[in-house]
Amino acid sequence: MPGFERFGAAERESAGEVLESGVLMRYGFDGMRKGRWMAREMEHALATRMQTRHAHLVSSGTAALTVALASAGVGAGDEVIVPTFTFVASFEAVLSVGAIPVLCDVDDTLTLDPGAVKKAITAKTRVIMPVHMCGSMADLRTLKAIADAHDLLLLEDACQAIGGSYEGKPLGSYGHIGCFSFDYVKTITCGEGGGLITNSDEIYERAQAYSDHGHDHIGSDRGAEGHPHLGYNYRIGEVNAAIGLVQLGRLDEFLDVQKAHYTRLRAVLESLEGVQLRRVPEGGIENYSFLNFFMPNENKARYSAKALGEAGFDGAFYWYDNNWHYHRKWDHLKNLESLSPLSEALVHQFQANPKSFKASDHWMGRNLSVLVKLSWDEKELQSRCRILKEVVSAALD
Task: Please tell me the distance from the alpha carbon of residue 253 to that of residue 234, in angstroms, as a whole number.
Answer: 30
Task: Please tell me the distance from the alpha carbon of residue 223 to that of residue 303, in angstroms, as a whole number.
Answer: 60
Write down the catalytic residue from 186, 259, 306, 373: 186
Radius of gyration of the chain from Cα atoms?
21
Q: Compute the half-sphere exposure of residue 39: CA atoms within 13 Å on the CB side of its CA.
A: 23
Task: Please tell me the distance from the alpha carbon of residue 83 to that of residue 150, in angstroms, as a whole number.
Answer: 19
Strand-pairing partners, residue 154, are 128
124 is catalytic: no
Task: Please tell me the distance from the alpha carbon of residue 391 to that of residue 92, in angstroms, as a whole number.
Answer: 37
Q: How many residues does the chain have?
A: 397
**Alpha carbon 55 to chain centroid, angstroms:** 16
DSSP states of 306-353: HHHHHTT---EE-GGG-TTTBGGG-HHHHTT--SSPPPHHHHHHHHTS
Task: Please tell me the distance from the alpha carbon of residue 18 to that of residue 37, in angstroms, as a whole number.
Answer: 9
Task: Please tell me the distance from the alpha carbon of residue 347 to that of residue 216, in angstroms, as a whole number.
Answer: 34
Q: Which phi and psi angles does 198 have, rounded to 5°?
A: -165, 155
Q: Give the DSSP H or E segment for 71.
A: helix 61-71
- State whether residue 181 is helix, strand or coil: strand
- Report, as residue numbers or ranges, the catalytic residues: 186
